[in-house]
Amino acid sequence: MPEWLRRLAGREQQSAGRQSLSSGANGRVRVGARVSGSAPGMTEAMISLQGVTKAYETDAGPFWALKGIDLEIYPGEFVAVVGKSGSGKSTLINVFTGIDHPTGGEVVVAQTRIRQLDEGQMAEWRGRQMGIVFQFFQLLPTLTIVENVMLPMDLCDVYEPGQRQERAMHLLDQMDMAELAGMFPASVSGGHQQRAAIARALANDPPILVADEPTGNLDSRTADGVFQLFGSLVADGKTILMVTHDDEMAARVPRILTLADGMIVNEVLQPSAAVAQEMMHKMPVSEYGTGLPFAVDGHGGRGTLPPVQSVP
Ligand code: ADP
Ligand code: MG
């Protein structure tokens, strides 16, 4: 059993001790309230939010978009955040990626208390630790697609200058859009911009991937390919937090948090989904016609891409 799956199972037992858990259909475990705190001997959280609040100043006074978020995400977890529009999902992403300051509470990511970083340190730290797929892509309009993908590598100096273009092309190829590398963002479709944004998020091979509606503009086959890619990245040890409004997509993720009115109101752990993730990674899976290659046995370490293999 992989480490992250053991942790998931451990947390269930831990929560079973103090909350009434009911096993629902297809092996789902519904947790009435959110689960917090690590058990003795558990790995340190990759992402930890304690009492995080966020108020936006409006003409009518402060608007509390986050009302006290306690959350721990462990290395190698794949977490989906769902919730209606306006529930605070993007705000949550902005505060734990350090894009925006929380009004209160503490955010610790990869053992770094992010409020201690100044803006310059923050940008470099974020570039190395996190790949972020923004809801509205935020590709730079004056750079070509491949230049956009190379940008994080240039900013953080993670790969040798001579390797960057090749790596960017490899990532774009994984997204089945290598032939559009020289185009500007405005001249490709929303779906292609989204795929370019995913390629850019993976540029520095960061341990954490954060994605705000990453499949929102993709047709179902391409979305499925992206989901499989995420699955193989998780099996490779990356930690992924994905905001989605797609219930079907969320149902395939081992841990689902529901946000409403700036609070986590529900958490569902799905060991069966977790197992499915692991199985999916081990099994040779045929391509779904998306052109997205599936990494069958990607155990490359940091600094390498999951090996791309065509499946017989
Ligand atoms: P979601 O991503 O779940 O749709 P958001 O995090 O974008 O939700 O927004 C949460 C709430 O905060 C919404 O009611 C939104 O209108 C409000 N909000 C977001 N950004 C701002 C802002 N800059 N100023 C005022 N209110 C904001
Ligand atoms: Mg949003």
* Spatial distance between the Cα atoms of 310 and 312, rounded to a whole number of angstroms: 6
With a cut of 50, say whether residue 303 has pLDDT above it: no
- Give the nearest ligand 1 atom to 92 CA: 6
Calpha distance 81→69 (Å, rounded): 13
The DSSP code for 188 is S
- Average pLDDT on 217-234 reads 86
The DSSP symbol for 226 reads H
Asked if pLDDT for residue 208 goes beyond 70, the answer is yes
Distances (CA, A) of 212 to 91, 241, 243: 10, 9, 5
Q: Name the 3-class secondary structure at 79.
A: strand
In this predicted structure, what is the pLDDT of residue 183? Answer: 97
Instruction: Kindly list the distances between the CA atom of residue 233 and the CA atoms of 7, 94, 134, 164, 249, in Å, as whole numbers in the listed order.
Output: 18, 22, 18, 20, 16
DSSP state of 309: B
For ligand 2, the distance from its centroid to the CA atom of residue 135, given in whole angstroms, is 7
DSSP labels, 288-306? -SS---B-TT----TTSPP
CA distance 195 to 247: 21
Distance CA 50, CA 206 (A): 23
Among 58, 59, 63, which is best to mutate for testing ligand 1, by the most ligand atoms less than 8 A from CB?
63
Q: What is the pTM of this model?
A: 0.78
How many C-beta atoms lie closer than 10 Å to residue 191's C-beta?
Answer: 16
**81-95, 113-127, 215-229, 232-246: segment of lowest average pLDDT:** 215-229
Q: How many CB atoms lie within 10 A of CB 50?
A: 15
Look at ligand 1, atom 14, and give the residue with the nearest C-alpha. 86
Name the pairing type of β-strands 130-133 and 208-212.
Answer: parallel
CA of 287 to the centre of ligand 2 (A): 30
Instruction: For residue range 128-163, list pLDDT tens digits in order.
Output: 999 999 888 899 999 999 999 999 999 988 899 999
Which among 87, 134, 245, 261 is the best mutation to test ligand 1's pocket, defined by most ligand atoms within 8 Å of the CB?
87
Task: Please tell me the residue having the least CA distance from ligand 1 atom 12.
Answer: 65
